[in-house]
Amino acid sequence: MDKPSSNKNSKDLHLEQFRVNNEGEKLTTNQGLRVSNDENSLKAGVRGPTIMEDFHFREKMTHFDHERIPERVVHARGYAAHGEFELYESMKEFTKAGFLQKPRTKTPVFVRFSTVVGSVGSVDTARDVRGFATKFYTEEGNYDLVGNNIPIFFIQDAVKFPDLIHAVKPEPHNEIPQAASAHDTFWDFVANNQETAHMVMWQMSDRSIPKNFRMMEGFGVHTFRFVNENGKAKFVKFHWKPVLGIHSLVWDEAQKIAGKDSDFHRRDLWESIERGNYPVYEFGVQMIDEADEFKFDFDILDATKLWPEEIVPVKIIGKMTLNRNVSNVFAETEQVAFHPGNVVPGIDFTNDPLLQGRLFSYIDTQLIRLGGPNFTEIPINRPVCPIHNNQRNGYSRQRIDVGQVSYHKNSLAGNTPSPSTAKEGGYVHYEEKVEGRKTQVRSESFGDHFSQARLFWNSMSPPEKQHIVDSFSFEVGKVKNRDVRQQVVDMFVHVDKAMATMIADNVGVNRPTGEQSGVTATSPALSQANTKYFPQTLNVGVLIGDGFNADEVDKVLKTFTRYGVRYTIIGEKLDEVKSSKGPPLTVNAAIFTTDPVLYDSIYVVAGTAGNQAKFNQQMTNFINEAFQHYKPIGIATTGMSIFKASNAKEGPGIVFATGNPEFGKTFVDAIAQQRFWDRAIY
C-alpha cells in the first residue's frame, strides 16, 4: 500500500561503491590475479598428490573455512530490507533530533526483523517474540531504534537477561527443543520470576505468531527521552503501526507452515517488495511530561509495563516504507550491528535498568561477532555523515588515516579533530539530578506484576482469550515436571482464575486456590480485533482444472486485481488449464507442491483433471483445512460438488457464486476480514 513513485531517493547511496556485480567478468584471486583453472588443483602428476604451491587452491579453501561468523546469541534468525522514513510534521517543540525537524524529510533506513530464541536455521513461524530493529542513517550519525513486536519485556533488570535466555534456549543436556519455549526450564524460570507474568500473556497470545512482518506492530519497548534545543525533556515511547493492520496466524496453521515453508515470513517480505507491495509502517510516539513521571499506577521506567494508549495517546508523526531488498544477506542482514546506544542529539536515555544493561551488552557482543572495534566500517554499518576521531588500528581496519596526530588535546594539528558545542551539533547528555546510596534492590514501584497482565486479559476478544488458554495448555502441557506445571497454574491465577482453572484441567494439575487481580479496566488498543482490515496484498489460492467457466472466472480475477488481491493459480500439474472457451490460464503452483496454509483464502473453481478422483480429494482437503483455520472460502458455480464433499459447512465466510451476481465483491469483502471466528468448526 501507499507505494512511492520511485525508490531512487531512498536508496542507500553510501553503499553503492561497495556493491560488485561479477556477471560477465573474468575470474581472479583476491589479489586481482586472473585464474586460468578453477576445476583442478595443482598436482604432482595426473594422479599425484596436491602441491601446496597452488596458491589459488589455498586462498579459496582458506576463505571457505573462515566464511562463518558466530551467530547472534538471540535474534539469530533474521531478515531485512532497506527503505526510507518520511516525517509528517515537525517535532522541533519536543526534540532537536535533526531528522525530526522538517516535514517531508526523508531518511534512509535499514530494518531487520527476527525471532529471538531460534538459531539461524530455525523456522520463521515459531511462537516467539519478534525483533523489529531500525537503523536510521541520519545526517547527525546513525540512530538505532532496537525494539520488538511486543511493547514490554520479560524482566525488569538486565542482570536477569542471561538467566532468561539460558532458560528459554534449548536445554543444555540434550539441546532440545529448538526455537521453542514449550519446555521445563523456561516455565520453571517463569514460575520463579513472576515479573514475567505480563510478557508471558503477550507471548501466549496471537501477537507471538504474526501473519507476516508487514502486518506486525513494532515498539521501542523502553522509555527514552526527547530533549529539545532549550534542554527541556519529555519521556517518550516509540511505536511502529503497520498500515495493513495487525494480523496473526492460528497456532495449528503456524505449525504446519513450519513444515511446508520454513522461510514463510522472509519469503513474504522479499516477494512483497519485489512486486512493489511495499510494507508501510506509521511512526508514533507517546510522550509524558517530566512533571507527570509519578502520576500513574505503574512505574513508567518499568520495562514490564506499557503505557495504555487510552491514557497516553500515540501521536503519529511519520511513516516508514520498505522499498528495496538486500543485495547480499550476509554482507547486510548478518553483518548489520544495532545498538540502543546509537543515538543522535535530541534523543536520550532514562534510568530503566533493563535499558541501562542493553547499553553495555549490545556493543560488547558486536566486538566478538564482527571481529573487533572496526565493525562500524562494514558498509551496512557506515554512517552517511563524515567520521573524524582519534581511534586507530585494530582488526580489519579499512580507513587510512593520514597525519601524525591521533590524540586529544594536541597542538600539532591545531587541536583537531575538535569537540563540537551543542549549537554545532555536539551530543550533550541530558542533565538529570541523580543521588542516593549504592544499593542492589528493586524499586517498590516495580513490584506489581499482575495488574497489567490482567488488563491485557480483560482487553482480549473471546477468540483471543481462547487462543491464550490453548497456547498455555500446549506450552505448559509439554513440561514434564508436574511441580513446575502446578507452579505456573498457581502463578497465573492472579491474572484470571477461570483461565488458570482451564489450564490446570488441561495439563493435569490441581486447580488453583488463589485469587485473581482486582483490575477491571480494559485497553481496546491491545486487541487485534480492533485493528484495520484491507484486502490488498492478501493471496488467494485458485483451485482450478480444465473446462472452467472462462467468463465467470475472468470476472472474479479482474475483481481481485481491482482491489489489490493477489492470486495463485493452482492446478493438477504445472501446465496450462483450458477453459470451455477463451484463453487458458497458466498454472503457478501444482497442487502437490503447495498447501492451504500458505494462502489467506481459497477460491474453488474445480474442473477436469487427468486423475480426477485424486484432484477432487486434494481440493476437498484444501477446503477442509481452510475451513478449520477460519479462512474465507469462495465457491464457483462449478465448485459446488467439491464443497459438498468436504467437511465445511455453509455459514460465515463461505461465499457462493451460484445465484450471486455480486460474488466477486462479496468474496473480496470476506477476504479482507481474513478470519471468521464465529464459524462452528467442530
> Where in the sequence numbering do the catalytic residues fall?
75, 148
DSSP 342-388: ---TTEE----HHHHHHHHHHHHHHHHHTTSGGGGGSGGG--SS---
CB 577 within 8 A of CB 607: yes
At 546, phi and psi to the nearest 5? -60, 155
Sheet of strand 566-571, all strands in order from the earlier edge strand to the far edge: 589-590, 566-571, 539-544, 601-606, 633-635, 654-656
Q: Is the sign of the CA dihedral 59, 64, 65, 67 positive or negative? A: positive
DSSP state of 206: G
d(CA 475, CA 127): 10
CA distance 323 to 115: 22
Position 261: which residue type? D
The 3-state DSSP class for residue 596 equals helix
C-alpha cell at 331: 554482507
Integer Cα distance of 240 and 314 in angstroms? 10
Show the cell assigned to 580: 470451455
**Residue matched to cell numbers 586472473:** 34
- Torsion sign across C-alpha atoms 40, 43, 47, 48: negative
Cα–Cα nearest to 183, from 475, 474, 469:
475
Q: Is 315 left (phi over 0), alpha (psi -120 to 50) or beta?
A: beta
Whole-number Å distance between alpha carbons of 641 and 619: 11
H or E element that contains 635? strand 633-635
Following DSSP, what letter does each residue of 211-243 receive, concatenated?
A: S-GGG--EE--S-EEEE-TTS-EEEEEEEEEET
- Burial string for 341-363 (b: 16+ CB within 10 Å, else e) reads ebbbbbbbbbebbbbbbbeebbb
Burial of 666-676, coded b for 16+ CB within 10 Å and e otherwise, reads bbbebbbbbbb
CA 608 to chain centre: 42
Separation CA 9–CA 444 (nearest Å): 50
DSSP string across 160-173: GHHHHHHHHSPBTT
Burial class of residue 106, CB neighbours in 10 A (0-12, 13-18, 19+): middle
